[in-house]
Amino acid sequence: MLDDEDSPIHPLFAGAPSTTEFKKLRKRIVRETREAIEKYGMIERGQRWLVCLSGGKDSYTLLAVLHDLQWRGLLPVELLACNLDQGQPGFPATVLPEFLEKMGVPHRIEYQDTYSIVMDKVPQGRTYCALCSRLRRGNLYRIAREEGCSAVVLGHHRDDILETFFMNLFHGSRLATMPPKLLNEEGDLFVYRPLAFVSEADCEKFARAMDYPIIPCDLCGSQDGLQRQQVKMMLDGWEKNAPGRRNKMFKALMNARPSHLCDPSIFDFAGLERRAEGEADFNENVPDLRERD
């Protein structure tokens, strides 16, 4: 169905470039999004999703792809777009409502001045991200409950997930990242990241090609020296020197081997036992190549 160029499309795709390059880009993003949705069991038929829209390239890509899948009957859930206006000075408050109305996308615009709280609570010179995201997430959970949604859907992509992994590794002393599917602490809402397999570069190309009205984040984006920016620069350097490195690292996150790590809480090292003499099987002389991975 996705290869049928004459099939109907959602208004979010109206005016899309007709170039072969863009068609390949769109199909790749849709395919990778479907793969993540299916692999992590995100679909609950007949449920309602709160699709969070910041106005950035990633959330526009998320919104378009989910509506395209729904339009084609491949995503049997109801979608409600939501923008949380956090009261940042200069935020163009009319851009998203006008865009969503024009595209015929069901939506809710919520105003909560979390900006003032962040500026009041975060000391000068410290980054705003942690408190800002915590306040934003709390409001999105509240809105999801008010709207009868089963899931909060976010636009984090593959590169966001990789960067978070290295942030936790370098600064948190743990192997963890943002999973594609998460159950909140209260246990009543899922958090989904359907773009988990999609690269940031593809989101950028897609949103720019579609000429969506992108709104920059001037709150955190204006701060220099953020740890995440440093990690991003490191990954950019690795990718430049060895193209495809990001994809290989992401695949490693899907191929964890607890027995080859050092955490006794997830693997019973103390309970390992040697075989008694004479119990070795016929593979006893075959080297275990996994030890070299």
pLDDT tens digits, residue range 197-210?
999 999 999 999 99
Burial code (b: 16+ CB inside 10 Å, e: under 16) for 159-192 equals bbbbbbbbbeeeeeeeeebbebbbeeeeeebbbb
Looking at the predicted structure, is the pLDDT value of residue 58 above 80?
yes
pLDDT band at 134 (very low <50, low <70, confident <90, very high): confident
pLDDT of residue 281: 58
Residues 6+ apart with CB under 8 A from 79: 48, 49, 51, 66, 67, 70, 105, 106
- Give the mean pLDDT of 16-29: 95
The predicted structure's pLDDT at residue 168: 93
Return the CATH fold of 21-253: Rossmann fold (3.40.50)
Query: Given this model, what pLDDT does residue 289 score?
Result: 46
Task: Kindly state the helix (H) or strand (E) to which residue 79 belongs, with its residue range.
Answer: strand 78-85
Residues found in the chain: 293
Residue-level pLDDT at 293: 43
Provide the pLDDT for residue 13.
87
pLDDT, tens only, 70-102: 999 999 999 999 999 888 888 888 999 999 999
Write down the pTM of the prediction: 0.87
Q: Residue 280's pLDDT is what? A: 57
Q: Which residue bears the tokens 């990690």? A: 231
| Residues 206-245 pLDDT 10s | 999 999 999 876 555 445 447 888 999 999 999 999 999 9
- pLDDT more than 70, % of the chain: 88
Mean pLDDT of 258-264: 95
Residue 192 has pLDDT above 60, yes or no: yes
Q: What token pair was written down for 200?
A: 């940031």
User: Does the annotation flag 220 for ligand binding?
Assistant: yes
pLDDT at residue number 269: 95
Q: DSSP secondary structure string, 157-220?
A: -HHHHHHHHHHIIIIISS-----SEEE-TTSS-EEE-TTTTS-HHHHHHHHHHHT------TTT
Closest by CA position to 214, among listed 224, 204, 223: 204
118: tokens are: 């962040």
Q: What is the mean pLDDT of residues 58-80?
A: 96
d(C-alpha 58, C-alpha 226), whole Å: 20
Mean predicted confidence (pLDDT) in 22-49 = 96
Q: Residues 43-55: pLDDT tens digits?
A: 999 999 999 999 9
Residue 220: the pLDDT is 52
Least confident of 12-16, 139-143, 183-187, 279-283: 279-283
Q: What is the mean pLDDT of residues 8-16?
A: 81
132 is in an annotated binding site: yes
pLDDT score at 125: 67
| Annotated binding-site residue? 262 | no
Domain borders along the chain are 21-253
Q: Round the average pLDDT of the chain to a whole number and report it.
A: 88
Q: How many whole angstroms from its chain centre is CA 246?
A: 15
